[in-house]
Amino acid sequence: MPAESNDRDRMFDMEERLRGVERQLAEIQKFAHLGSWEWDIARNVVIRSDELCQIYGVRQAGTVVSYETFLAAVHADDHARVDLAIRKACLEGLPFSFDYRIVRSDGTIRLLHGQGEVVVSEVGHPLRVVGIGQDVTDRKSMEAQLLHAERMSSVGRVAGGVAHEINNPMTFVLANLELANKQLLDLAAGLEEGVTALDAVRQIRSLSGVLEEIHSGVERVRRIVRDLKTFSRANEERVGPVDVQSVIEFSLNMAGNHIRQRARLVRDFQPVPLVKANESRLSQVLVNLLLNAAEALPDPTGEGVGDHEVRVSTGRDGENVVIQVADTGHGIPDELQGRVFEPFFTTKPVGVGTGLGLSTCHGIVTSLGGRIWFESEKAKGARFLVSLPAAPDVTLPEVTLPEAASLPPDENPRETPGPVSQPARLLVVDDEPTIGTVIRRIMASTCAVTAVTTPREGLDLIAQGMRFDLILCDMLMPEINGIQFYERCRIIDEEQASRIAFMTGGSLLAETEEFLRTTARSCLEKPFNTDQLRAMVSSLIDRR
C-alpha cells in the first residue's frame, strides 16, 4: 500500500507540474500575443491554443477544426500563398515562415507572423505540422510610424537645401513675370502708336523667350515638389524593378545642396541592371547615407573643406548591384563601429537626429533581400555599401498608375493627342477658381467646359439632370472632399459617378490611394501641363 500511495503522490505531483507548465505557456502566449496550432494530417484535425483562438476572434470552445476551416480565416489575398507554403513544407520536410493577414468574425483585419515545421515518421512521411501565429499588427504599425518619423527627420535635415532649390527658380519666375507684364504693356503701347510690324515681332519673340524661362522655372519647382511627395510617402510598400541611377539622382536632388556646402560631389556610375526594391524606401536609405556623409565632414567654415569629397558610385558584384557612398571625413572610431546600426545610437548632440537613421537603413535593405555594411579607416573617411539583388530580366520599372497623365512629364509623349471626335462635356470641380479657368482655356477647342468651385454646385448640376462625359474633381477641398463627392454622386447617378476622375496637389494618404485603386479612378497630379491634361481627358473620354 505504501508503494501504491507513493506512486499516486508522484503521479499527482507530475500532473500538477504539467498543469503549471501549461498555465505558464498560456501566460507566455498571451503576453507575446502568440498562439500555437497543430495539424494532424491523417485525421485532418487542427488543434488551436486558447490564445490563437483569441487572436482569430473565435470562441475557445471551437478549438478543434479541419485544416480547410483553419485556413478559411486567412485573408483572400493571402490564402493561396499560405496554403502553398504549408503544403510545400510537408513535401520537402522543411520549416516555413511567412507574414499573413486574417479576417476576424467582426470584419477586422490583423497581421500575423507564422512559423512552423513538419513532424515526419521514421521513413520520412509527414505526420503533423506544428506552428505558431503571432499578432504583429501593433508592432508593424509602430515600425511604420518610426520609419515615417525618421523619413520626416531626413526631410527636416534637407529642408534648407530644398528651400534653396525652390527659391532659385521662383526668383527668376517672379522677375520674368514682372518683365513679361512690362513687355506686354510696352507692346500694347507700341501698337497703339503704330510701331512697325518688324519691331512688334521682335518684341513678341523676346516675350516668348521670357515665357520659356518662366515655364522652365515652374517645371523645376514641380519636380522638387514631386520628389518631396515621393520621399515622404509613408505607406507605399510595392516592390518591383527599380532603376538605381534614377533613385540616386532623385536622392541627390534632395541632399545635394547639403553636400555641396561641405565638399565636392563626385558621381561614378557603372552600368547596372534594375534591382528588386521599393523606390521610396531605397531613396530613404540613400538620402540618409548622403546626409551622414556630408555631416561627417568638417564644418563649412573650417579649414581644408575644399579638399573633401563625397563620392557616389555603382557597380556589380556577381548577380548583385552595389551602391557606395563614401566620404573623406574623420572616419568612425574603432570603439563605436560595433554600434553603428543599433537603434537610437547616435554621436550627435541631444535633439539633433533620432538615432534611427542607420538602423532604419539596415532594416529597409535587409527587408529587400540585400545587405548593408561599411568600411572605415581613421582620418580617411568612411564608405557605406548597399548590395541589392538584381531584378528579373525586365526592361522597364513598374508604374503605379498606367494613365499617361500620371507619369512624370519627361516620360509622357510630347505629341498633343488629337481632338475628341465630338465636342465633349467636361465638368471641373475645384475650390481654386483659376484651375477651372485654365482648364477651360486649354480644352476650349475640344470640350464644353463647366467649372464650379464647390462640390455642392457640381452635385446640384447632376441632380438637375445635366450630364457630362467626364468630371474632373479636386481631391482635397473644404467641407466635401473628392471621395465624399464621388460617394454622393453615386447616390444621385451611378453612371455619372463612373465618369469621375481626380486631381490632387498634395501627397495622397494611404486611404486615398486604396480608394483610387479599388475604384479604378484616374488621378492627375498638379501642377500639370497642357499635354498631360489633354492626354488624360482624351484617354478617359475615348474609353466611353
Total domains present in the chain: 3
Q: Verify that 180 and 302 share a domain, yes or no.
A: yes
Q: Are residues 340 and 434 in the same domain?
A: no
CA 84 to CA 251: how far, in whole Å? 39
Return the percentage of the chain with pLDDT > 70, whole number. 75
Full DSSP string of 516-538 = HHHHT--EEESS--HHHHHHHHH
pLDDT > 80? residue 273: yes
What does the mean pLDDT of the chain come to? 79
Residues β-bridged to residue 126: 120
Q: Residues 43, 179: one domain?
A: no
pLDDT recorded at residue 237: 61
Does 188 score more than 90 pLDDT?
Answer: no
Structural domain ending residue among the three candidates 85, 107, 135: 135
Looking at the structure, tell me whether residues 435 and 317 fall in a common domain.
no
> Are 435 and 381 within one domain?
no
In this prediction, residue 311 carries a pLDDT of: 93
Specify whether 199 is located in the same domain as 292.
Answer: yes
- Sheet with 34-40, side-by-side order of all strands: 64-65, 45-48, 34-40, 126-135, 109-120, 96-103
Cell digits of residue 539:
484617354
> In CATH, what number is assigned to the domain containing residue 231?
3.30.565.10
What is the model's pLDDT at position 53?
A: 86
Helix %, strand %, coil % of the chain (to 5): 50, 20, 30
Residues 118, 254 share a domain: no
Mean pLDDT confidence for 123-148? 80
pLDDT category, 155, cuts 50, 70, 90?
low
Q: 406 in a domain, yes or no?
A: no
Residues 28 and 108 in one domain: yes
Instruction: Note the pLDDT of residue 343.
Output: 63
Q: What is the pLDDT of residue 414?
A: 38
d(CA 314, CA 320): 11
pLDDT, mean of residues 60-80: 83
Scan for cell 484651375, then name that residue: 435
CATH at 462: 3.40.50.2300
Asked whether residue 219 falls in the same domain as residue 100, the answer is no
Q: Residue 37 sits in which domain range? A: 16-135
Q: Is the pLDDT of residue 379 over 80?
A: no
Q: Comparing 305 with 532, which gets the higher pLDDT?
A: 532
> What per-residue string of b and e applies to 34-47 under the rule 16 or more CB within 10 Å gives b?
bbbbebeeeeeebb
Residue 36 included in any domain? yes
Quote the CA–CA distance of 528 and 1 in Å, as a whole number.
Answer: 95
381 and 430, same domain (yes or no): no
Please name the helix (run of DSSP H) or strand (run of DSSP E) that holds residue 52, with its range, or none: helix 50-56
Say whether pLDDT at 477 is over 90: no
Residue 24 has what pLDDT?
60
CATH number of the domain to which 38 belongs: 3.30.450.20
Q: What is the DSSP letter of 418?
A: P
Strand order from edge to edge, sheet including 500-504: 447-452, 424-429, 470-474, 500-504, 523-525
3-state secondary structure 98-121: EEEEEECCCCCEEEEEEEEEEEEC
Mark which of 111, 135, 159 sits at the end of a domain. 135
